[in-house]
Structure 1
């Protein structure tokens, strides 16, 4: 799979731009702030309908423009399809395939698969649990696009349930309004248990299948590391049933649903007091560990707080490489996006990363300085500056 053409209208800094692309490596070179990342961000947006840089669509629309359009010609198995998303501030976005409007914009998700390496990846290691949950959920959706709807359902249930918790918590104890809110809350508890169990089961299974890929990737990018050094573990907001803990690679959704419902009942008083949902996959975390605790060889050290800056970067790279390798093993190569990542790495790590990804079907690189792009990723070059994207005659002329 690769993108053969990208067209943007009022996306980020571009009023209008058309860029022909092809398989292999393409590098966008230009000074910071000139719009090179905007180009690869647009392709990634088509993949997930979200940006790796911002949490909402508003910054993606050019200032003063009524809407933005991202259009890409995607080649898979020799066939070309034109995918398009129209971003409409204050209204629903629209998706199209070959000019035909889709019933739901999220039907675009997964038709293009991307893996993005960026400076923001360090938040996977040093950031909040939400960053690691988003990493897992993005990968889930790329593997099974139907889960985009399940995640949307989870978000809707959590918002509705939080509103009910606040209403019931503020109502006078024993009043008719509180009784009505609590009765409705029972219904939404059942919804949360069902949808939450599905997401939890998918995440648990993903962590199990991803774990060996992360170990292998870390051993490749970190000096002197072995496959056993880097480890992943999933931490749930409640104790998992014994059947699930014993077989996380194939979790029983029925057992998870019952356990979630029971925990919701147990924590209801706390939730009413605080007015927030305290139980569910939105409270979970992906635990990252590296090496062994010298004082207790049976325990691992968490990456956050113990790893050096270089080790943290290596772990973040390993997570992205593992995602790429897993998606590749399960189907077509995803489009690999290396967004200004080489400026953050020393020469050895640059060369290692380049060697690992050079054979991907399509690699898109952004760099402020042409010399930051390793020799193994020499290919087509575009100069980005002044709102224009210009093809360089050959790499040596950049």
Structure 2
């Protein structure tokens, strides 16, 4: 798989740009702040319909414009696909495939598969659980695009259920006199609990499907991560992954404190350990923590509070790994994602966004040697010397809003 053409209109700093690309190595070189990352961010957006830099779509639209358009021509084997995304902040985005509209933008997810390395990847090891959940879910969708719908359904139910809990918690906190407590319980508590029962069923159904996908993904990913880390840091301690689930028998915990139980490595193992299906156990756990949820106004159980445990030797990488070990682990996660997608069939496009400037000489060389055989590698760098000689190929200079091919 490779991208043959990229066209941007009012995306980030670009009013308009047309860029022809080829298989192999391509480097975008120029000073910081000139728009190199904007180019590869656009490709990442086509693949995942999210940005690795910002949480919302509004910053992706050039100042003064009402929308942005990203067009991408993808070659895979002997097939071609032209994907067009229209980004409309505050309104529904639109998508076209081979110039024909599709019913939902997420219907084009999976046509382009990318693995993007960026300085922000260090947060996969050192950051909050939300970063690791996002890593898992984006990879899950890349492997099986139907999970885009599963995530959307889960997020929708979670939002509705959490809004109900907030309303109930605010109502309870707003009571001032004891005699009003019984009135509230009689008038409103029954309705709230009945409605919560309905949302519990929806959350458990969609949550179990997402959880099952994540568990199976972690099991598939583990050997690739171990192999990639050993290649990047030979002689170092071994690394491993495990999935931390809120389907534990202990009390609810705050996200930053971690989850008390490390679950089994796949859905079948976890279901066997629990003696129940994932959906049954999710419903059961929601009932167990309901009093706390009504008091705090938040949903305390579900995949949105789970974590991916990263182990280095006998210790958790977060808090114990050195800066170099953390970088190696983050790179190993991305390389493992690439190897896993490749094992599924077809090379994804590798994107290395200003990564080499962050690495020491040894890690730069090893990473370059590992990624060089990929079908298409796109690199951004501030200066030509930041691109390892193992990754020589086509080059574009990026400056003052212009992208120029260097002959």
Shorter-chain TM-score range = over 0.9
Tell me the equivalent position of 1:74: 74
Structure 1 residue ranges without an equivalent (≥5): 292-299, 394-398
Deviation at 1:347, TM superposition (A): 1.3
Tell me the equivalent position of 1:145: 145
Tell me the equivalent position of 2:219: 208
1:232-258 Cα deviation digits (max 9, x unpaired): 111101228xxx966725455961111
Tell me the equivalent position of 1:329: 343
Name the CA distance, whole Å, in 1 between partners of 2:139 and 2:206: 18
1:167-196 Cα deviation digits (max 9, x unpaired): 233255423333212211100000011111
Deviation at 1:314, TM superposition (A): 0.4
1:63-94 Cα deviation digits (max 9, x unpaired): 01010000011111122211010001211000
Tell me the equivalent position of 2:258: none
Change in 2 beyond 3 A, CA 1:140/1:181: same
Q: Structure 2 residue aligned with 1:352, among 363, 366, 380?
A: 366
Task: Specify the SS of the correspondent of 1:120.
Answer: helix
Tell me the equivalent position of 1:366: 380
Contact kept, 8 Å, 1:29 with 1:368, in 2: the verdict is yes
TM-score with structure 1 setting the length: 0.93
Contact kept, 8 Å, 2:240 with 2:311, in 1: the verdict is yes
1:347-378 Cα deviation digits (max 9, x unpaired): 11111001101111110000001011111110
1:302-352 Cα deviation digits (max 9, x unpaired): 111111100000000000000000110111111000000000011111110
Tell me the equivalent position of 2:266: 248
Contact kept, 8 Å, 1:206 with 1:249, in 2: the verdict is no
Name the CA distance, whole Å, in 1 between partners of 2:376 and 2:263: 39
Tell me the equivalent position of 1:278: 300
2:243 aligned with 1:234: yes
Name the CA distance, whole Å, in 2 between partners of 1:247 and 1:374: 37
Tell me the equivalent position of 1:377: 391
How many residues were matched structurally? 380
Deviation at 1:113, TM superposition (A): 0.3
Q: Which moved more, 1:124-133 or 1:159-168?
A: 159-168
Name the CA distance, whole Å, in 1 between partners of 2:73 and 2:241: 37
Change in 2 beyond 3 A, CA 1:246/1:120: closer
2:98 aligned with 1:98: yes
Tell me the equivalent position of 1:114: 114
Q: Which moved more, 1:162-171 or 1:348-357?
A: 162-171
Name the CA distance, whole Å, in 2 between partners of 1:331 and 1:323: 13
1:125-156 Cα deviation digits (max 9, x unpaired): 00000000000000100000000000011111
2:404 aligned with 1:390: yes
2:4 aligned with 1:4: yes
Task: Specify the SS of the correspondent of 1:103.
Answer: coil
Name the CA distance, whole Å, in 1 between partners of 2:37 and 2:367: 19
Name the CA distance, whole Å, in 1 between partners of 2:220 and 2:390: 30
2:195 aligned with 1:184: yes
Q: Structure 1 residue aligned with 2:281, among 238, 244, 259?
A: 259
Name the CA distance, whole Å, in 2 between partners of 1:179 and 1:87: 43
Contact kept, 8 Å, 1:290 with 1:303, in 2: the verdict is yes
Name the CA distance, whole Å, in 1 between partners of 2:406 and 2:91: 39
Contact kept, 8 Å, 2:84 with 2:95, in 1: the verdict is yes
Task: Specify the SS of the correspondent of 2:185.
Answer: coil
Name the CA distance, whole Å, in 2 between partners of 1:5 and 1:47: 14
Name the CA distance, whole Å, in 1 between partners of 2:370 and 2:341: 15
Deviation at 1:225, TM superposition (A): 2.5
Contact kept, 8 Å, 1:208 with 1:249, in 2: the verdict is no
Name the CA distance, whole Å, in 1 between partners of 2:132 and 2:265: 22
Contact kept, 8 Å, 1:154 with 1:192, in 2: the verdict is yes
Name the CA distance, whole Å, in 2 between partners of 1:163 and 1:373: 49
Tell me the equivalent position of 1:294: none
Task: Specify the SS of the correspondent of 2:318.
Answer: helix
* Backbone CA RMSD of aligned residues: 1.5
